[in-house]
Amino acid sequence: MNEAETERERADSLYRVSNLLAGAHDTDEVLDLVVNEATRLVGAKAGFIRLLKDGVGVPAAITASAASYLAELKEATPAVPVQEGLNMASHVMATMKPMVVDDLTTSDLPVEANRIAAEKHGLYGLAVIPLVVNAQPIGLLSVFDGNVRLFNDDEVSLLTAFADQAALALEKARLLKDAETERERADSLYRISNLLAGAHDTDEVLELIVNEAARLLETSGSFMRLLKEGVLVPRAANGAAEAYLADSAANNQTLVVEEGTSIMGHVLATNKPLTTKDVQTDELMSPNGRVNAEKHGLFGAAVVPLLANDRPIGVLTVLDTQIRQFTNKELSPHRLR
């Protein structure tokens, strides 16, 4: 009867999570329910979910009992890279297979900081379950017990079911965000096309383009340079890029269109988009350009050629205040006709 009651309680919990997942748009609410119910149903002391972001695992949802442990661990090991054999979290995300240990404080799998923090907070038995979407790891679910304990196969299966629910919630949120982003971008391009069809004021169109590019890519600045007598000269910029361009013009009046000379000159010479995670360290940036980027706190950049009838006429540049790798989709060439 105890086993039957336990199975019924677990089934009810998974059913509630499934119902919430089916109707919810708040992913955080789903993840909070998943980590708390998973921890409760296996009788564990603490739990949390890490999600992959830029190649490392970062906390996304935690039980109240795990907060102090994670806070301390963040100071000692701020990043959890995906790599086999490094530690349990990294190994599980790399192999996409669950892992359990009966005593985290004596296991040789965690790094020293994990063992010290676990002992300090009374965490011993540990189960780590991967979150997987489309055969790719997106994070993990970890639960800790307050005693030396080896989670059994049934408990690992239950935790895996909860991890799958969390993965579904995250994938649903990603698909909804992608759909919303595509709709917003399509609306923006439609408005620009309508303005372009009826406008005689080119500056108005170019200003709309740089502002929409910055807004839709969620960057701090965007500007446009156009070819004039063989060199690139500023033409339009949004508010955040104006000061950067003013300093750039003072330090470097013109940019020559030639491969390997500058980021924008290189893009125009090759007719291919280019992105850099950090303009402050990029070898194509001039010394003055790096100093200017540092002054204005700019790092990630994407530069695409403006093509008219397949002829280069300028470049569109977006700049971010964080180190960032723009995606191929974000770099799709913009064509003005």
Weakest mean pLDDT among 78-92, 167-181, 217-231: 78-92
260 and 154, same domain (yes or no): no
Q: What is the mean pLDDT of residues 106-122?
A: 81
* pLDDT, tens only, 184-238: 878 877 877 777 677 667 888 888 888 888 888 888 889 998 888 777 788 889 8
- Domain assignment present for residue 209? The answer is yes
Crossing angle (nearest 10°) for helices 153-198 and 2-23: 0
169 and 259, same domain (yes or no): no
* pLDDT, tens only, 232-275: 788 889 877 888 888 877 665 566 778 887 888 888 888 889 99
Q: What is the mean pLDDT of residues 20-30?
A: 71
- Domain assignment present for residue 336? The answer is no
166 and 284, same domain (yes or no): no
CA pair distance 293, 300, nearest whole angstrom: 10
83 and 118, same domain (yes or no): yes
- Domain assignment present for residue 196? The answer is yes
Instruction: Tell me which of 96 and 17 has the higher pLDDT.
Output: 96
Instruction: Show the domain range for 70.
Output: 2-175
Q: What is the pLDDT of residue 22?
A: 63
Structure tokens, 145: 């017990």
Residue 76 has pLDDT above 70, yes or no: no
143 and 204, same domain (yes or no): no
Instruction: Tell me which of 88 and 157 has the higher pLDDT.
Output: 157
Q: What is the pLDDT of residue 77?
A: 52
Q: How many domains in the chain?
A: 2
195 and 308, same domain (yes or no): yes
170 and 190, same domain (yes or no): no
Q: What is the mean pLDDT of residues 294-313?
A: 89
161 and 309, same domain (yes or no): no
Q: What is the mean pLDDT of residues 286-313?
A: 87
Q: Which residue has the tokens 């063989």?
A: 230
Q: What is the pLDDT of residue 334?
A: 44
Instruction: Tell me which of 99 and 79 has the higher pLDDT.
Output: 99
Q: What is the mean pLDDT of residues 150-161?
A: 92
Q: What is the pLDDT of residue 335?
A: 42
The CATH number of the domain holding residue 209 is 3.30.450.40
Weakest mean pLDDT among 18-27, 39-48, 97-106, 306-315: 18-27
Residue 336 has pLDDT above 60, yes or no: no
- Computed over every residue of the chain, the mean pLDDT equals 83
Q: What is the mean pLDDT of residues 59-66?
A: 91
171 and 194, same domain (yes or no): no
9 and 66, same domain (yes or no): yes
Query: Cα separations (Å) of 118 from 128, 155, 216?
Result: 14, 21, 43
195 and 160, same domain (yes or no): no
Share of the chain above pLDDT 90, in %: 24
Residue 83 has pLDDT above 80, yes or no: no
Q: What is the pLDDT of residue 23?
A: 63
pTM of the model: 0.60
